[in-house]
Amino acid sequence: MVAFAVALLMGTAVYFRIWARQSSDPSFTVDDREELRRQFERANLEAMDESAEWRMKYDTELEKSKQLQDELSKDYLMLKRQTELLRQQCNCTVPLSSRQG
């Protein structure tokens, strides 16, 4: 995430550098503008790559989280059913207020 922020700041700095040079320096040549434009595009592409990488990591972790949540839900339901079956088989006299449910 830090690398993404750095790349974004670099891209913004290059953009402002182009803008400042064009408006204040008449000796700023077309080649200089082209070089700065390429630097800006490169920084922008790096930021987009970094963003895509983080998005893939997020999607992977989200999928893992959903799978674990599904497994936990299934386990919870299974344990709840087992608890109910044990309660029915037990024939214990447990007050309603002490039951968890």
pLDDT in tens, the chain (101 residues): 777 788 778 878 877 777 776 666 667 677 887 888 898 899 889 989 999 999 999 999 999 999 999 999 999 999 999 999 988 888 766 565 655 55
Identify the sign of the CA torsion 41, 11, 62, 60: positive
Q: What is the pLDDT of residue 30?
A: 77
pTM of the predicted protein model:
0.49
- Locate 8 and state its tokens: 């974004």
Residue at token pair 């408006």:
23
Q: Where are the domains of the chain?
A: 2-74
Q: What is the pLDDT of residue 100?
A: 58
**91: region left, alpha or beta (phi > 0 left; psi from -120 to 50 alpha):** left
Buried-state track 57-88, b at ≥16 Cβ within 10 A, e below 16:
eeeeeeeeeeeeeeeeeeeeeeeeeeeeeeee
